Chains A and B, each alone.
Chain A
Amino acid sequence: MWSKLTIDMKNLTLSKEPLDDEYRELGGKSLIAQYMIKNVPPQCDPLSNENQLIFCTTIFAGTKLTTAHRLSIGGKSPLTGGIKESNAGGYAASLLAEQGIKLVVVKEIPADDRLWFLHINAEGKASLEDASMYEGLNNYDIAKKLDERFGDKIATVSIGSAGERLYKCSSLQVSEFGTGHPSRAAARGGLGALMGSKRLKAVVIEKPLEPYKVQYANEAQFKDACLKLNKLIAEGAKNDPFQTIGTISTIDVTGANGILPVDNYSGKLFPDYTEVGSNKFMSNLKSRGGRNKRACQPGCVVQCSNVYNDKNGDYLTSGFEYETVALFGPNCHISDLDAIAEMDRICDDLGVDTIDIANAIAVCMEAGKIPWGDAAAALGLLKEMAEGTEFGNILGNGCEAVGKSLGCKRIPVVKHQAIAGYDPRNTKGTGITYATSPMGADHTAGLSMGRAFEDTGRAAQAYVSTKLQVAMSFADSMMCIFAFAHTVTDLQLFAEMMAGLFGGKADLLRVTSIGVKSLLTERAFNKMAGMTIKDDRLPDFFYTERSIATGSQFDINDYELEVLFEF
């Protein structure tokens, strides 16, 4: 039976007990939603003792389902003020599952300023240990020190100095399988600040001597469906550009279609997008000894991760992804891939969300603080953030904080969270997701790119967003969404796996209802937190300014957004 580990940071006590029966068939996003609606007061201050930091693994953790070992992290977001589930790949969820732990809950706030780390050792014993020697360290340093201390059969989840400073855009960084680099980010929504408020610096999970064995209702049924699903995903991944190149390949599609944001969502095209696209990336990897086709977690068959080296062939960053390139790149009018890679490294190290921070840099350029396209000046601002200067502290709180401090009118945020690398005027379903997702402007909640140019009218775009948000909600409860993308021709296999694992019928409704219930629970939490229909709206300029590239504007009206979840 799975365990729940509860940590009380006020009394510095830990307890491990069997997972509550009501969470038995949940995991990832769905577990975060159901746990929070019962246990976290929606109106609490996100940095107060009432908020809880939650870690959990997916429904199929501990099995052989590819990419089932995503780590979901949840709590009330210090950035959006609503419910937040942020997930990452890496090694931590695998080892947490081997330890037999489905859910970790961190409650309360310490009475003093002492810093701690949570250690789960090879015998399965959990303890809080003094982290004072790690105070002020950033993620690469702390990952290295923990590796030296505990050996290389560990996974780490850590915050950098950004999380200690309670920056609203601070992330949790998870160590990558195989390299130990702290490059897998649970980035969105400032959960790093929540961890910092608990005075928790890191989580160290050792590989257990006796791995937990999942109990099946019908093991043969489960394994049969799992094998078929893994084969389906592996087959699909062969022609997936994410495997062949990496997520950076998306630049070549969005750049050609006017979806790539340019100059703070000006709507222009960026003629030099290929300088930061697939060919440049692959050429740099090849000539410098970098690598793509890397799995960030054991058993992943999509293998979209990478290791990117600098001009001298030395390691620079890994998990170098589309969002970071699009938003530090063309959206800031920058076409220097190496400079962008350095920005990625700084953000991972400090522990901040590259999406929000990159948007903030673009806003700085629009406000005239630094010139458009000036990579050196952008790096200078990131270094200010690392040093904690007055402006650096504002930058660490994200795009909206920077925009307001500089008097900028065009601030691309929804629910205070910055928009991802897809211009919503040219992928309207995605725009609807940005506006209505309980997570804030979250592209992973329902990216409809590809349907932007189908002339099927507004109703279809809303329909697409709804379907995708439900699908992503159950995907985020089970596996990596990149793997999920290859399963849509045989979703019944998930139902077979549910039946094989928990018993009962292999009913697809059992799977889809997980997504629907999560979404509605999240919306209920946000409503109780004080959010209204006014929060389900894009910034005004997307409605009033046309994309220069396509002539399109975001013409979805408020009523269409309001009725989206009436199902």
Chain B
Amino acid sequence: MIKVNGLKIEFKHGMTVADALKSAGKSPDSMTLVVLDGKLLPCGQPYKDSLADGSEIRLLPIVSGG
């Protein structure tokens, strides 16, 4: 099982971050941080990073600045 912002998605072998985001109906823009298992992925890339069963993805949109 993969989690995307708490939403559970079925894990499939070979799944990438982009696949999980698509399954979860999420399409992060260039102002949203994507964190995979506690590590931030570079912004705005195709998110082809592989996933393992149990991975957790968090989307953190920038809402302010400081």
- Chain A residues with CB under 8 Å of chain B are 236, 239-242, 244-245, 247, 249-250, 252-253, 255-257, 274, 277-279, 282, 304, 321-323, 422, 443-444, 447, 449-450, 453, 481-482, 485-486
A253 and B66 within 8 A (CB): no
One of B29, B40, B59, B66 near A252 (C-beta < 8 A): B40
Expressed in whole angstroms, the Cα–Cα distance for A250 and B32 within the complex equals: 10
8 contacts between A and B (CB under 8 A): A240-B60, A242-B64, A245-B60, A255-B43, A277-B40, A422-B65, A443-B65, A486-B63
- Nearest CB of A to B53, in Å: 23
B39 and A279 within 8 A (CB): yes
For the residues of A in contact with B, the DSSP-based class is helix
B66 and A322 within 8 A (CB): yes
- Nearest CB of B to A319, in Å: 10
- Nearest CB of A to B36, in Å: 11
A239 and B43 within 8 A (CB): no
A256 and B61 within 8 A (CB): no
Expressed in whole angstroms, the Cα–Cα distance for A252 and B44 within the complex equals: 10
B30 and A453 within 8 A (CB): yes
- Nearest CB of B to A304, in Å: 7
Interface string of B50-66 (1 = CB under 8 A from A): 00000000111111111
B14 located at the interface, meaning its Cβ lies under 8 Å from any Cβ of chain A in the complex: no
Expressed in whole angstroms, the Cα–Cα distance for A321 and B62 within the complex equals: 15
Closest B-chain residue to A482, C-beta based? B64
- Give chain A residues whose Cβ lies under 8 Å from the Cβ of B35: 244
In order of increasing CB-CB distance, the 8 nearest A-B pairs are A256-B43, A241-B60, A485-B63, A485-B64, A447-B65, A278-B40, A247-B66, A450-B31
CB-CB under 8 A for A252 and B64, given A239-B59, A279-B39: no
B65 and A256 within 8 A (CB): no
Supply 17 further A-B pairs (C-beta < 8 A) apart from A249-B33, A277-B40, A304-B66: A239-B59, A244-B60, A245-B60, A247-B65, A249-B40, A252-B40, A256-B30, A278-B33, A278-B40, A279-B40, A282-B38, A443-B66, A447-B64, A449-B31, A453-B30, A481-B66, A482-B66
B46 located at the interface, meaning its Cβ lies under 8 Å from any Cβ of chain A in the complex: no
- Nearest CB of A to B31, in Å: 4
B31 and A239 within 8 A (CB): no
B42 located at the interface, meaning its Cβ lies under 8 Å from any Cβ of chain A in the complex: yes
B5 located at the interface, meaning its Cβ lies under 8 Å from any Cβ of chain A in the complex: yes
A239 and B66 within 8 A (CB): no
- Give chain B residues whose Cβ lies under 8 Å from the Cβ of A450: 29, 31, 62
B30 and A241 within 8 A (CB): no
- Give chain A residues whose Cβ lies under 8 Å from the Cβ of B30: 253, 256-257, 453
One of B29, B61, B64, B65 near A239 (C-beta < 8 A): B61
B62 and A253 within 8 A (CB): yes
Expressed in whole angstroms, the Cα–Cα distance for A323 and B65 within the complex equals: 9
Interface size class of B (residues with CB under 8 A): 20 to 34
For the residues of B in contact with A, the DSSP-based class is loop
- Give chain A residues whose Cβ lies under 8 Å from the Cβ of B44: 256-257
A323 and B66 within 8 A (CB): yes
Closest A-chain residue to B42, C-beta based? A256
- Nearest CB of A to B5, in Å: 6
Closest A-chain residue to B66, C-beta based? A247
A252 and B5 within 8 A (CB): no
Expressed in whole angstroms, the Cα–Cα distance for A444 and B63 within the complex equals: 12
Expressed in whole angstroms, the Cα–Cα distance for A239 and B3 within the complex equals: 14
- Give chain B residues whose Cβ lies under 8 Å from the Cβ of A447: 64-65
A240 and B63 within 8 A (CB): yes
One of A244, A245, A250, A279 near B66 (C-beta < 8 A): A250
- Nearest CB of A to B7, in Å: 12
Expressed in whole angstroms, the Cα–Cα distance for A322 and B64 within the complex equals: 11
Expressed in whole angstroms, the Cα–Cα distance for A250 and B33 within the complex equals: 9
- Give chain A residues whose Cβ lies under 8 Å from the Cβ of B60: 239-241, 244-245, 249
- Nearest CB of A to B33, in Å: 5
Expressed in whole angstroms, the Cα–Cα distance for A304 and B31 within the complex equals: 18
Closest B-chain residue to A248, C-beta based? B66
- Nearest CB of B to A144, in Å: 27
- Give chain A residues whose Cβ lies under 8 Å from the Cβ of B29: 450
One of A252, A322, A444, A453 near B33 (C-beta < 8 A): A252
- Nearest CB of B to A327, in Å: 13
- Nearest CB of B to A153, in Å: 29
Expressed in whole angstroms, the Cα–Cα distance for A485 and B65 within the complex equals: 10
Expressed in whole angstroms, the Cα–Cα distance for A277 and B65 within the complex equals: 14
Closest B-chain residue to A237, C-beta based? B63
- Nearest CB of B to A517, in Å: 23
Closest B-chain residue to A421, C-beta based? B65
Closest A-chain residue to B65, C-beta based? A447
B62 and A449 within 8 A (CB): yes
- Give chain A residues whose Cβ lies under 8 Å from the Cβ of B42: 252, 256, 274
A241 and B62 within 8 A (CB): yes
- Give chain B residues whose Cβ lies under 8 Å from the Cβ of A256: 30, 42-44
- Give chain A residues whose Cβ lies under 8 Å from the Cβ of B63: 236, 240, 485-486
- Nearest CB of A to B24, in Å: 13
A321 and B66 within 8 A (CB): yes
A250 and B65 within 8 A (CB): yes
Closest B-chain residue to A427, C-beta based? B65
- Nearest CB of A to B2, in Å: 17
- Give chain B residues whose Cβ lies under 8 Å from the Cβ of A482: 64, 66
- Give chain A residues whose Cβ lies under 8 Å from the Cβ of B43: 252-253, 255-257
- Give chain A residues whose Cβ lies under 8 Å from the Cβ of B31: 253, 257, 449-450
- Nearest CB of B to A228, in Å: 19
Closest B-chain residue to A451, C-beta based? B31
- Give chain B residues whose Cβ lies under 8 Å from the Cβ of A444: 65-66
- Give chain A residues whose Cβ lies under 8 Å from the Cβ of B64: 242, 447, 481-482, 485
